[in-house]
């Protein structure tokens, strides 16, 4: 019997009033495993009203009381890692090991949120003039809307909302309709951790709910992760409704390899960072950029056997290196990208189009695919391919490698492999990417550093993770106060601009 998944509002399962439903699939098998209730504006209104009222009560609790809930939530997520990983793998297609890695990074975000009292402290100055003291204070923004992607059902939304909850906001979360069950399990853990009912709410749906969140006067801030076209739309529409919007979008991450690098290590790093999770990561290495002909030829020799050795299989196969892509539609999109690269003249080195996984013939599998001699005019260079298709773009010099990297519209991450400190420092200074790796293939920062790209990989000035998250989810108030002595004479009337002295 197919499972039915409802919304979660005020601590209760809620079928909503929308009437529409959508299918949830297991990408490893292609089977429908659940029907998901899609919300409407009335469902969203109820969730926002609930979050606003409960959030106000939650914000009035002490820092210590909120910290205690976050500490408990951390312990519960750790204790339920196996269960969460199974849920993620079944609906996403990523391997259990990969899912556990994602959960671990989500735990980092919760740990940093436990530090909320420190990162929300204000400033204080005594007697700035006329016995006036001035101080600043940070208070919650109100209700926060979270719109999360399919590729990280736990890590990304937890990174987005852990600090939002810790500082005292109410939450309305719209998970990806492709991977809703991990969100429902996380709701259970929040409740068990002692988070008051109504602070945390889930409304499932599609564009109708997204537009409703962007327009809703009761939502103060929106945090989004997803594709660049959608992210730009969300940023522009959300800010037009006077909301704070943090929109984290696409990436086409370059990996520059210098002739002096450890080429064996670089080859392993490229395969690991390029094909993990079927390349459905915004921080995946998309393009290998070897500097010099000899470097390119040697790297090609090294990566081919490593790629050919990768095993593709269902999420619960412990021997699988990566699994299926998220949907049948996604598979067709990736296959079209491969066909376009062939037509454009890129050299296909490894073809993963005809892969078959025994016993899972209806799963959405694509084998690892590699192209060489990719140029900056090709769509394979320009477009983010959310599937296991990677390319080699050859650079004649370090200058050209930097130019190739900076030519792209995205600036999420970029990495260099080298033994030369001068080259590394130049790369850090000149490359326009928000996250830089030096001999590190995936420069995803730890939870207490800010995450975010540059150029069209991010819209808005905020960051995910780190101190910026606390600033984004709070608003700053500056207070000037004077407490006169009881016997002090009344101040005379003064029309001068500066009356503080």
CATH number of the domain bearing residue 469: 3.40.605.10
Residue 219 and residue 275 share a domain: no
Residue range(s) defining the domain that contains residue 257 = 253-438
475 and 414 housed in the same domain: no
pTM of the model: 0.92
Q: How many domains does the chain have?
A: 2
User: Do 500 and 130 meet the contact criterion of CB atoms below 8 Å apart?
Assistant: yes
Name the one residue in this structure whose structure tokens are 């504006």.
41
Q: Does any domain span residue 3?
A: no
The reported pLDDT for the residue numbered 501 is 52
Same domain, 420 and 471: no
- Residue 31 belongs to some domain of the structure: no
Same domain, 286 and 173: no
**Domain presence at residue 9:** no
Can you tell me the distance from the alpha carbon of 109 to that of 113, in angstroms, rounded to the nearest whole number?
A: 6
Strands 31-37 and 410-411: unpaired
User: Which residues neighbour 269 within 8 Å (Cβ) at sequence distance 6 or greater?
Assistant: 255, 285, 417, 441
Phi and psi at residue 56, to the nearest 5°: -60, -40
**Position 18 in a domain:** no
Does residue 8 sit within a domain? no
* Residue 123 and residue 138 share a domain: yes
Whether 292 is covered by a domain: the verdict is yes
Chain centroid to Cα 490, Å, comes to 57
Tell me, yes or no, whether 208 and 325 share the same domain. no
- CATH number of the domain that 266 lies in? 3.40.309.10
Give, for all 501 residues of the chain, the pLDDT tens digit. Answer: 579 999 999 999 998 887 899 999 999 999 999 999 999 999 999 999 999 999 999 999 999 999 999 999 999 999 999 999 999 999 999 999 999 999 999 999 999 999 999 888 889 999 998 889 999 999 999 999 999 999 999 999 999 999 999 999 999 999 999 999 999 999 999 999 999 999 999 999 999 999 999 999 999 999 999 889 999 999 999 999 999 999 888 888 999 999 999 999 999 999 999 999 999 988 889 999 999 999 999 999 999 999 999 999 999 999 999 999 999 999 999 999 999 999 999 999 999 999 999 999 999 999 999 999 999 999 999 988 989 999 999 999 999 999 999 998 887 788 999 999 999 999 999 998 878 889 988 877 776 777 776 677 777 777 777 788 889 999 999 999 998 888 777 778 878 776 555
Beta carbons within 8 Å of 350's beta carbon, 6+ residues apart: 304, 307, 308, 367, 368, 369, 370
Same domain as 270, residue 242: no
* 473 and 425, same domain (yes or no): no
The predicted pLDDT at position 125 comes to 94
Asked whether residue 276 falls in the same domain as residue 171, the answer is no
81 in the same domain as 133: yes
- Same-domain pairing of 339 and 427: yes
Task: Report if residue 274 sits inside a domain.
Answer: yes
* Position 68 in a domain: yes
Catalytic residue chosen out of the listed positions 109, 282, 285, 442: 282
Using only the alpha carbons of the chain, give its radius of gyration: 25
pLDDT of 445 reads 75
Active site residue 282: yes
Residues 83 and 158 in one domain: yes
């Amino acid at each position: 019997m197919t499972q039915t998944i409802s919304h979660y509002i005020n601590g209760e399962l809620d079928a909503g009033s929308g009437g529409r439903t959508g299918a949830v699939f297991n990408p490893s098998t292609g089977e429908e495993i659940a029907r998901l209730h899609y919300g409407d504006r009335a469902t969203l209104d109820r969730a926002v009203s609930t979050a606003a009222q409960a959030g106000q009560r939650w914000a009035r609790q002490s820092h210590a009381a909120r910290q205690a809930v976050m500490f408990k939530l951390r312990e519960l997520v750790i204790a339920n890692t196996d269960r969460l990983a199974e849920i993620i793998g079944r609906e996403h297609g990523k391997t259990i090991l990969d899912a556990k890695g994602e959960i671990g990074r989500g735990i980092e975000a919760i740990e940093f949120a436990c530090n909320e009292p420190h990162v929300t402290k204000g400033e204080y100055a005594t007697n700035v003039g006329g016995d006036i003291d001035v101080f600043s204070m940070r208070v919650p923004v109100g209700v926060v809307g979270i719109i999360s992607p399919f590729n990280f059902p736990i890590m990304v939304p937890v990174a987005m909302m852990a600090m939002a909850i810790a500082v005292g906001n109410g939450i309305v979360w719209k998970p990806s309709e492709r991977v809703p069950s991990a969100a429902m399990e996380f709701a259970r853990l929040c409740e068990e951790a002692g988070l008051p009912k109504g602070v945390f709410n889930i409304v499932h749906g599609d564009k109708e709910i997204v537009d409703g969140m962007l327009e809703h006067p009761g939502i103060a801030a929106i945090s989004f992760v997803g594709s660049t076209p959608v992210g730009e739309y969300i940023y522009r529409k959300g800010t037009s409704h006077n909301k704070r919007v943090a929109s984290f979008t696409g990436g086409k991450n370059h990996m520059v390899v210098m002739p002096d690098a450890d080429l064996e290590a670089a080859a392993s790093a490229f395969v690991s960072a390029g094909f993990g999770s079927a390349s459905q990561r915004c921080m995946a290495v998309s393009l290998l950029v070897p500097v010099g002909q000899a470097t390119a030829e040697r790297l090609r020799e090294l990566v081919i056997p490593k790629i050919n050795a990768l095993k593709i299989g269902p999420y619960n196969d412990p021997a699988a290196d990566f699994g299926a892509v998220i949907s049948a539609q996604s598979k067709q999109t990736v296959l079209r990208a491969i066909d376009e690269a062939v037509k454009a003249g890129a050299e296909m080195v490894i073809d993963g189009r005809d892969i078959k996984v025994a016993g899972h013939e209806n799963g959405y599998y694509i084998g690892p695919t590699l192209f060489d001699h990719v140029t900056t005019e090709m769509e394979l260079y320009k477009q983010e391919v959310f599937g296991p298709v990677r390319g080699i773009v050859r650079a004649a010099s370090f200058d050209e490698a930097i130019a190739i990297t900076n030519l792209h519209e995205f600036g999420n991450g970029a990495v260099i492999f080298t033994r030369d400190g001068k080259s590394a420092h130049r790369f850090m200074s000149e490359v326009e990417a928000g996250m830089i790796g030096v001999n590190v293939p995936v420069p995803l920062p730890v939870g207490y550093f800010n995450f975010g790209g540059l150029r069209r990989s991010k819209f808005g000035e905020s960051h995910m993770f780190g101190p910026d998250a606390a600033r984004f989810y709070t608003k700053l108030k500056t207070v000037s106060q004077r407490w006169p002595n009881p016997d002090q004479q009344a101040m005379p009337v003064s029309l001068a601009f500066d009356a503080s002295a």
